[in-house]
Amino acid sequence: MNERDTLKINKKGHLEIGGMDAADIANQFGTPVYVFDESYIRKMMRTYRHAIEKHYGGNGLVLYASKAFSCTAIYAIAHQEGIGVDVVSGGELFTAIKAGFDTQKIYMHGNNKLVSELELALDNKIGTVVVDSFREADILNELACERKIVQNVLIRINPGIEAHTHSFVQTARTDSKFGFSVSDGAAKEIAAYILTKKNLNLQGFHCHIGSQIFEKQSFVLAAQKVMDFCADVKQSLGFEAKTLNIGGGFGVWYNDEDPKLKPDDYEDYLECLIDAIKEKAEKHSLKLPYLVIEPGRSIVGEAGITLYTVGAIKEITGIKKYVAVDGGMFDNPRYALYQSKYTAILANRANEPCTEKISIAGKCCESGDLIAVDVPLPKAESGDIMAVLTTGAYNYSMASNYNRNFIPPAILVKDGKAEYIIKPQTYDDLIRNDVVPEYLK
């Protein structure tokens, strides 16, 4: 059992999140439902903000990488916490704008941003666009010129570090679809190109080395390589980067193979990274850049759980036992996509010992529709409330209406109270955009 203070087992032996009994939440809101603990989200946003204040004199900005979980309320929380956001689509940008987010604090990513998305960004005076292709530089410059503005931009570069959960590799050249490689000169070439564009104001560079990373050294190495690149650009192009955006990627706990990090540990990541930047700045006689970071998963991941109701239970003698729930790959496709691991708890019997290993099946018409495989659980019965932990990041944001199932609603829990932040869908929502051509009637 995870000992984060967002989750507890109460006197009834029920799982509690953010001071609310998960079984009561299931009764009140139905299942499946995503549940988010607001205090945890705020705590993580503050942890990063304070780390930049404490170790870097506040010379930077935390962006919440909203691809992890995007809805109007989360931008409202980020706004209140005084941080920025990164968006990767017109949809995320639109949602942030509708939430009243300060658009100057929005950074826009994407390897193939649509013209319409760039137009939406410029028309709303978005702070920074992270340029990811020559074509984008041309389009953006033209759109900025038409609007008689000069747009701040960063360039996404690949420093040649590929990080994985507990390891990293240094590659001479990355084959990622994102960014410009440092090693083959492409990164410097686009920098030189953007410096010729009158309506683009190059602020500096961005890199993001991966997600669900625990290896401190990979962040340090990335920071060092980007600083070396900045020194090289200064020397050869006479351009000194003012801003360095080092991306996100800090790992979270999903099951007992992962460390359980505390806010202090995340501060530690930043401290190491900042030390590396300071050392390199001194070595290369560079000014300390404005530091931007973009954590997503670590802000919302452990803040969220999904509650399901157990339905059919099926045992294939001697082979496997399936406990089916009223959700599935439509609310959490991460096992189907990545074989991701999760921890499950029976929320209404959270004190009982795990006596068997079961696989959690979804209700989709697809054999690969699983949430977790061979996980320990007490003997489940139909009607039990199943909680799957650490589903706050990349669950709702990757959900679909596959099989015309409903994307579950989301609720926010705070001080023992719960409120919808995403309402339940209805059957009418599912057919809202359907059209039957005349000749079919």
Nearer to ligand LLP, 25 or 41 (CB): 41
**Active-site position among 207, 230, 364, 365:** 365
Q: How far is it, in rounded angstroms, from Cα 302 to Cα 109? A: 24
Q: Tell me the three state secondary structure of residue 179.
A: coil
- State the nearest-atom distance from the C-beta of 265 to ligand LLP, in Å: 14
- State the nearest-atom distance from the C-beta of 130 to ligand LLP, in Å: 7
Residue ranges binding ligand LLP (CB under 6 A) = 65, 67-68, 86, 109, 208, 211-212, 247-250, 294-298, 334, 393-394
Q: How far is it, in rounded angstroms, from Cα 120 to Cα 90? A: 7
365 is catalytic: yes
What are phi and psi for residue 74, nearest 5 degrees? -70, -35
Give me the sign of the Cα torsion angle 254, 247, 54, 152. negative
- State the nearest-atom distance from the C-beta of 206 to ligand LLP, in Å: 7
- State the nearest-atom distance from the C-beta of 159 to ligand LLP, in Å: 13
Residue 221 in tokens: 């190495």
Nearer to ligand LLP, 163 or 325 (CB): 163
Q: How far is it, in rounded angstroms, from Cα 168 to Cα 146? A: 44
- State the nearest-atom distance from the C-beta of 201 to ligand LLP, in Å: 20
Q: How far is it, in rounded angstroms, from Cα 363 to Cα 366? A: 8
Single-letter residue type at 258: D
Distances 295 to 64, 155, 252 between C-alpha atoms, Å: 6, 18, 11
Q: How far is it, in rounded angstroms, from Cα 139 to Cα 154? A: 15
DSSP 260: -
Nearer to ligand LLP, 199 or 203 (CB): 203
Nearer to ligand LLP, 288 or 336 (CB): 336
Q: How many CA atoms lie within 13 A of 295 on its CB side?
A: 31
Nearer to ligand LLP, 16 or 86 (CB): 86
Give me the sign of the Cα torsion angle 172, 187, 270, 286. positive
Nearer to ligand LLP, 188 or 297 (CB): 297
- State the nearest-atom distance from the C-beta of 142 to ligand LLP, in Å: 24
391 within 8 A of 34, measured Cβ to Cβ = yes
Residues 6+ away with beta carbon under 8 Å from 205: 154, 155, 156, 157, 187, 191, 226, 229, 230, 241, 243, 244, 245
Nearer to ligand LLP, 338 or 420 (CB): 338
Give me the sign of the Cα torsion angle 146, 148, 152, 155. positive
Helix boundaries (H) for 8-152: 22-29, 38-56, 72-80, 90-98, 115-123, 134-146
Measure the CA angle with vertex 80, ends 79 and 84; round to 5°: 30
- State the nearest-atom distance from the C-beta of 273 to ligand LLP, in Å: 13
Nearer to ligand LLP, 6 or 395 (CB): 395
- State the nearest-atom distance from the C-beta of 175 to ligand LLP, in Å: 16
H/E run at residue 129: strand 128-131
Q: How far is it, in rounded angstroms, from Cα 143 to Cα 121? A: 10
Q: How far is it, in rounded angstroms, from Cα 243 to Cα 320? A: 53
Report, as residue numbers or ranges, the catalytic residues. Answer: 365
